[in-house]
Amino acid sequence: MAQPGRHAPFQPCLTAMHLVTSRTLATRRRILGQLAAAGAFSSVSGLFAEALTVTAKLTEGPYYPANTPFNNIPLDKDNDLVLLNDGLTPATGLVTHLAGRVLDRNGKPVRGALVEIWHADHHGEYIQSTTAVRNPKSDPNFAGFGQFLTGKDGAYRFRTIKAGLYRGRTRHIHAAVTLPGEKIRTCTQLFWDEPSYDLNGKLWAQQNDNDGVLGGVRDAVQRAALIRKFTKAAGAAGDEESTVWDIVMGSAAMEPSYPNTPGGELVVPGEAVGSGSSKSRWKIAVPAYPGYAYEVYANPTHGTLGYAALPFALTVEGKVDRNITVAEKEGTLELYVDKPSVKGAYLVGYRVPGANLGTPTGRGMGPGGGGGRPPGGEVSELLLGRDPF
Ligand SMILES: [Fe+2]
C-alpha cells in the first residue's frame, strides 16, 4: 500500500527540488497519520496518487430548507439535530453521529468551510415546507437541518438520527459544502452500507443498487466513497451509531484570512452588562473587519456537541433578534447575548467576505442542483412526489 519505490527519487542531494519534494513527502506522511487516526479512509492508496478522489456531486433535491418562497432556514441550525432549540425531548429515531473532514483534492484540510446537512425524520418527513411554517407532519423535536463551520483541521461533526425513508429513495443524508469565499454550495449525499428496511422491518423498495440518484454515480471509487458503514458509536450509551465521512472538494479553497488570528473562530470572554432592567446581558467584543460575518456560540471548544448558536443584539438595549451580522467597518464589534457561556467564554465564528451566510438571502445552488428553485407551482409538484430526491 505504501509504494516504497516512490520514495527513491527523493534521496540523492539537497537541491531545491529535493527540499520541495521532501516537504511534500512529509506532508503526505502527516496526512496519512491524520487519516489513520481518524479511520477516515478504507484505502490509503489514493494519498500517493496525484490527488484524492473528489466527492461526487449529487443533486441538492427539493428539500433544502431555504428552497421555498419563504426561505425557511430554521433559527436552530447548529450541529445537533437531535434536539430542537432549547427542547429537552430528543427527536425520535436512532441517534447517529456523523463526523469527518473537508479536504481539498491534495488532502489539505479546508478551514472556514460551511458544512450543511439535512435529511428526513424517523418517519420520512423533511422539515422543509412551502408555507411560512415548517412541515407540520415532521417530528416536532427534530431539527432536520444543521450547519458546521470547519476550523483549521477541516473537521466537522453532527449528531442526528438515522435518516428516515420516503417514497422513491433509499436511506440517505443530504450534505452541502460551501468553500470559504464562495457563495455556491456543492451538494452531495451519504448512503448507508446496509439494506434499507421500513419501520415494520420490511425490505424497502429502493436500495443502494436501484436508487436513482446514487445510480447516477458511474465511477466505482466515487460511488464507494458515498456509502459508509454505520457502526455502534464508541463510548455511547444504548444503540447509537456513528460513521466517518471525509468530503473531498474538487476546486481549490480560498484560504480565509483574519488578521492576527489563525483558524476560523474567535474565543472571547463575555462581560456581564446591565440592560437597563433587571435582566442581565453579556457583551462580547471582537475585532471586526468589513464584510466579515459573525455568529456567536455558547460552547467555545467547538469540538463537543450540544453547543448552540446564540441570538444576539447589536446594542446593550437592542432587541435580541439575529444570529448573524456582517461588519460594515474595521474596529470593535460588540454583540450582546442573553445567555451566559457554557465554559466561561463564547465562540465567535466568522465567515470571509462573500461566503455563503446560510441565511434566507443570496441562496446559491450546488452543481447538480438544477439551478434556482422556481417559486410556487413547481415546488408543489415536486412535493407531491413526482420527482423524489
Ligand atoms: Fe432526500
When pLDDT is averaged across residues 153-175 and rounded to a whole number, the result is: 95
pLDDT given for residue 212 in this prediction: 92
Q: How far is the CA of 170 from the centre of ligand 1 (A)?
A: 9
Nearest in space to 338 (alpha carbons), one of 294, 281, 284, 298: 281
What distance in Å separates the CA atoms of residue 270 and residue 306, rounded to the nearest whole number? 19
Is the domain of 159 the same as that of 248? yes
Q: How far is the CA of 174 from the centre of ligand 1 (A)?
A: 6
Q: How far is the CA of 372 from the centre of ligand 1 (A)?
A: 17
Give the tens place of pLDDT for each residue, 48-81. 445 788 899 898 888 988 777 777 777 778 889 9
Is the domain of 342 the same as that of 376? no
Is the domain of 199 the same as that of 140? yes
Q: How far is the CA of 383 from the centre of ligand 1 (A)?
A: 11
Q: How far is the CA of 173 from the centre of ligand 1 (A)?
A: 7
Is the domain of 225 the same as that of 142? yes
What distance in Å separates the CA atoms of residue 161 and residue 123, rounded to the nearest whole number? 11
180 lies in a domain? yes
Give the tens place of pLDDT for each residue, 243-269. 999 999 876 555 445 554 444 567 788
Is the domain of 185 the same as that of 224? yes
When pLDDT is averaged across residues 8-16 and rounded to a whole number, the result is: 23
**pLDDT class of 161 with cuts at 50, 70, 90:** very high
pLDDT given for residue 43 in this prediction: 35
pLDDT given for residue 276 in this prediction: 60
359 lies in a domain? no
Mean model confidence pLDDT for the chain: 74
**pLDDT class of 199 with cuts at 50, 70, 90:** very high
pLDDT given for residue 2 in this prediction: 32
pLDDT given for residue 301 in this prediction: 53
Whichever domain contains 147, its CATH number is 2.60.130.10
- Could you write out the DSSP letters of every residue in 164-190? PP-TT--SEEEEEEE-TT--PPEEEEE
What distance in Å separates the CA atoms of residue 145 and residue 74, rounded to the nearest whole number? 8
Name residue 146's beta-bridge partners: 117
> Is 145 a residue whose pLDDT tops 70?
yes
Report whether 310 contacts 297 (CB < 8 A). yes
150 lies in a domain? yes
pLDDT given for residue 297 in this prediction: 78
233 lies in a domain? yes
**pLDDT class of 282 with cuts at 50, 70, 90:** very high
When pLDDT is averaged across residues 351-362 and rounded to a whole number, the result is: 53
> Is 153 a residue whose pLDDT tops 90?
no
What distance in Å separates the CA atoms of residue 172 and residue 228, rounded to the nearest whole number? 10
Is the domain of 332 the same as that of 183? no
**pLDDT class of 354 with cuts at 50, 70, 90:** low
Percent with pLDDT over 70 in the chain? 69
Report whether 84 contacts 142 (CB < 8 A). yes
Q: How far is the CA of 177 from the centre of ligand 1 (A)?
A: 16
Domain that holds residue 19: 13-39
What distance in Å separates the CA atoms of residue 121 and residue 127, rounded to the nearest whole number? 8
What distance in Å separates the CA atoms of residue 183 and residue 89, rounded to the nearest whole number? 35
Q: How far is the CA of 335 from the centre of ligand 1 (A)?
A: 37
Q: How far is the CA of 389 from the centre of ligand 1 (A)?
A: 5
Q: How far is the CA of 331 from the centre of ligand 1 (A)?
A: 43
pLDDT given for residue 324 in this prediction: 86
Give the tens place of pLDDT for each residue, 133-142. 889 999 999 9
**pLDDT class of 300 with cuts at 50, 70, 90:** low
More confident residue, 21 or 75: 75
Number of domains present in the structure of the chain: 3
Is the domain of 345 the same as that of 369? no
pLDDT given for residue 113 in this prediction: 86
Is the domain of 284 the same as that of 147? no
Q: How far is the CA of 117 from the centre of ligand 1 (A)?
A: 11
Q: How far is the CA of 346 from the centre of ligand 1 (A)?
A: 34
Is the domain of 299 the same as that of 154? no
**pLDDT class of 21 with cuts at 50, 70, 90:** very low
Q: How far is the CA of 351 from the centre of ligand 1 (A)?
A: 27
pLDDT given for residue 24 in this prediction: 30
Q: How far is the CA of 233 from the centre of ligand 1 (A)?
A: 24
Q: How far is the CA of 161 from the centre of ligand 1 (A)?
A: 14
When pLDDT is averaged across residues 222-244 and rounded to a whole number, the result is: 92
Nearest in space to 155 (alpha carbons), one of 53, 307, 303, 293: 303
The answer to whether the Cα torsion of 42, 47, 48, 51 is positive or negative is positive
Close Cβ partners of 262 (under 8 Å, ≥ 6 residues apart) = 152
Is the domain of 326 the same as that of 346? yes
What distance in Å separates the CA atoms of residue 80 and residue 4, rounded to the nearest whole number? 43
pTM above 0.75, yes or no: no
1 lies in a domain? no
Report whether 346 contacts 268 (CB < 8 A). yes
> Is 383 a residue whose pLDDT tops 50?
no
> Is 35 a residue whose pLDDT tops 70?
no
Q: How far is the CA of 193 from the centre of ligand 1 (A)?
A: 17
Is the domain of 115 the same as that of 251? yes
Q: What angle do CA 160, 163, 166 make, to 5 degrees?
A: 150
Q: How far is the CA of 178 from the centre of ligand 1 (A)?
A: 19
Nearest in space to 275 (alpha carbons), one of 227, 312, 330: 312
**pLDDT class of 192 with cuts at 50, 70, 90:** very high
When pLDDT is averaged across residues 359-378 and rounded to a whole number, the result is: 26
Q: Which three cell numbers stand for residue 384?
A: 407531491
29 lies in a domain? yes
45 lies in a domain? no
Q: How far is the CA of 135 from the centre of ligand 1 (A)?
A: 15
89 lies in a domain? no
**pLDDT class of 25 with cuts at 50, 70, 90:** very low
Give the tens place of pLDDT for each residue, 81-103. 999 887 889 999 999 999 999 99
Q: How far is the CA of 377 from the centre of ligand 1 (A)?
A: 20
What distance in Å separates the CA atoms of residue 45 and residue 47, rounded to the nearest whole number? 5
